[in-house]
Structure 1
């Protein structure tokens, strides 16, 4: 039986209270934002969907009717019907052997025809819905003419295939240093190139390495790859800057934004190497208490981009839930900033959000079952 929980919450948010940019007369479309929230729960039938990883390894179908969620423990994909709120089936995959996807999957992408691309430290490949590997992806720099980077490790970090199936994109670089480049690869012709994306190098300034006699931990700010309508977008949590790469025109463009409510990027010096947990926590707080930017979200209904920002608040104790100041930004289809808002009644960033039918879906765990908080915005 399908489950439906409804929570009607009308939040009247105050006006921004900031001056309009003197360089533009564009109205802030989020100034008088209101919204309601409903909570929906997926019926798994007699099955159990492993939610230990949230929706980290998930994709949507092109029409947003299905969610494909890879669960790391069982090494299977749960296909969820978002229109009917039901689990349809599981697709199992092997860990080792000729059809193995590897023990620890880094990225999963749903391709046309219910094919799937998996990438891990051990292997990268394309598989059919029956778990059979139909293409082994060799991603060493020496396999591609025109690619000249240091090292011989596979270029599989944030691996992504273009919507037309011709190109592969990834973010090779030095993990310890946190620096990244954009790899544009043409597997059919064994060729490619490396594009410099210097605005993303700011992420490397906020890496923190804890190394002591007892342990070693590494924190690196994320750099993200996304595709919308035949264009690739590169962003990072450290800065609001965004690159857009049009692979049809082979053009790379950097966008910066005149934010009024938040700084455009994190600032200040972070101690990159520490030797104690106290130092680790101190440096992490320096970074997390500043503005951080989430991934882009595309809304087909309004033809707009949205993006959340957050500043984490200090915890009262280790057991206390993480809370944050949360901001919402809006952009037109050409990435012009057209709205920004401090969401004073929200204290957590929506989890793995996406737009469907003009509404924002955010993952929630409802008594260990897959659920979504669904936001209906009124501008």
Structure 2
């Protein structure tokens, strides 16, 4: 195990300020927020980590003692013991053939029994931890439009699998930016349940593209769909609100979360397909510098949802680094606001992060070693 001083490894990432927002609301549990930062480095033993693409999609086991992610070239499933901070194993997966997962970008989830749901460019199914395909899930539900039925890639783009209830959730691309739908698919009966999600139009509303000499410039707000605390949650960075499918009660609702001291959604407009560089830059600046909400994650130790938000300020010159303002929000299990604050002194937005034992673990590359900034919030 390697323990390294975070401030020595990554200077200027954080400063020592610990004051919370002066505008914090009354009965705000984050009003007196403080934090400390440490850095841990994972021991790779005689092996090495291939981190040219960062962590990419990652998953934790149930007790969050192990982290899993894929190295791309060669394609290896990596398992790391987060308690002992050491590499456990690397397992080779096939890109092609009967057990192939595809050669392009892929997403995966870890089931409670150690099996993986892998959602790739051409393959979707359940694999075991040794890379063997156990069950293909490239099913076409009944009653969908022919164009979508003939395009499994679009049908299951960024799909989520419910291991406990054997359901697949997906958001196929909207038709003409008018239909925004959640598909709930039974892969055995091929039955389809559809739920309208009109507020997810914000995904497209705050996306911009500019084509210059055949090169595409692009900006967008983040959007997520994932299972957390026995709920399927749908979020988009342009708003604080969430869609929630309660997997225990089988109830679906839109929860319009209301903060007192911070904007709850983007209210301006952008040109989605401009031909002018100046207009593109202006729209991107508006989106980035507005509060972008990240996904709420359940903290078992505090029995609440915790959520980050960020504002991004792009440098004036291409070579200038971006700067950030970072925010923390807390909700109860029904998404009532418990606290909200700007995190004074946090100078970088955490990336590829997760919560473990009440602390935020944010991936950092430490001289090509796998490291994490571990942020301990006190409130």
| TM-score of the pair, normalised by structure 1 | 0.91
* Structure-2 residue corresponding to 1:272: 272
Query: What is the distance in 1 between the residues matched to 2:376 and 2:344?
Result: 17
Shift of residue 27, structure 1, vs aligned partner? 1.2
Alignment coverage as a number of residue pairs:
370
| Structure 1 unmatched ranges of 5 or more | 21-25
| TM-score of the pair, normalised by structure 2 | 0.91
* Structure-2 residue corresponding to 1:78: 78
Matched, 1:16 2:21: yes
Q: Superposition pairs for residues 67-216 of structure 1, below 5 Å? A: 67-139=67-139, 143-145=140-142, 147=144, 151-152=148-149, 153-154=151-152, 155-174=155-174, 177=177, 180-216=180-216
Cα 1:366–1:177 shift into 2, 3 Å:
farther
Q: Superposition pairs for residues 1-379 of structure 1, below 5 Å? A: 2-7=1-6, 11=16, 13-18=18-23, 20=25, 27-139=27-139, 143-145=140-142, 147=144, 151-152=148-149, 153-154=151-152, 155-174=155-174, 177=177, 180-379=180-379
Query: 1:147, 1:193 within 8 Å by CA — same for their partners in 2?
Result: no
| Structure 2 unmatched ranges of 5 or more | 8-13
SS in 2 for 1:239: coil
Query: What is the distance in 2 between the residues matched to 1:275 and 1:106?
Result: 32
Deviates more, 1:237-246 or 1:280-289: 280-289
SS in 2 for 1:283: helix
- After superposition, the C-alpha distances for 1:261-309 in whole angstroms (9 at most, x for unaligned) are 3211112120111235444333211211111011112111001111111
Shift of residue 105, structure 1, vs aligned partner? 2.7
Cα 1:312–1:64 shift into 2, 3 Å:
same
Query: What is the distance in 2 between the residues matched to 1:97 and 1:71?
Result: 19
Query: What is the distance in 1 between the residues matched to 2:38 and 2:175?
Result: 40
Query: What is the distance in 1 between the residues matched to 2:94 and 2:269?
Result: 45
- After superposition, the C-alpha distances for 1:27-75 in whole angstroms (9 at most, x for unaligned) are 1000001111110000111222122232221100001000001122221
Cα 1:267–1:366 shift into 2, 3 Å:
same
Query: 1:329, 1:340 within 8 Å by CA — same for their partners in 2?
Result: yes
- After superposition, the C-alpha distances for 1:172-212 in whole angstroms (9 at most, x for unaligned) are 12398497421111112111212111121122111112234
Query: 2:314, 2:321 within 8 Å by CA — same for their partners in 1?
Result: no
Shift of residue 256, structure 1, vs aligned partner? 1.6
Shift of residue 258, structure 1, vs aligned partner? 2.3
Query: What is the distance in 2 between the residues matched to 1:93 and 1:374?
Result: 30
* Structure-2 residue corresponding to 1:23: none
Query: What is the distance in 2 between the residues matched to 1:176 and 1:78?
Result: 40
Deviates more, 1:295-304 or 1:7-16: 7-16
Query: What is the distance in 1 between the residues matched to 2:278 and 2:236?
Result: 26
Query: What is the distance in 2 between the residues matched to 1:175 and 1:51?
Result: 37
Query: 1:310, 1:324 within 8 Å by CA — same for their partners in 2?
Result: yes
Query: 1:179, 1:203 within 8 Å by CA — same for their partners in 2?
Result: no
SS in 1 for 2:285: helix
Higher relative contact order (CA 8 A, sep 6+): 2
SS in 2 for 1:249: coil
Query: What is the distance in 1 between the residues matched to 2:15 and 2:346?
Result: 12
RMSD: 2.3
Cα 1:314–1:209 shift into 2, 3 Å:
closer
Query: What is the distance in 1 between the residues matched to 2:117 and 2:105?
Result: 10
Cα 1:19–1:222 shift into 2, 3 Å:
closer
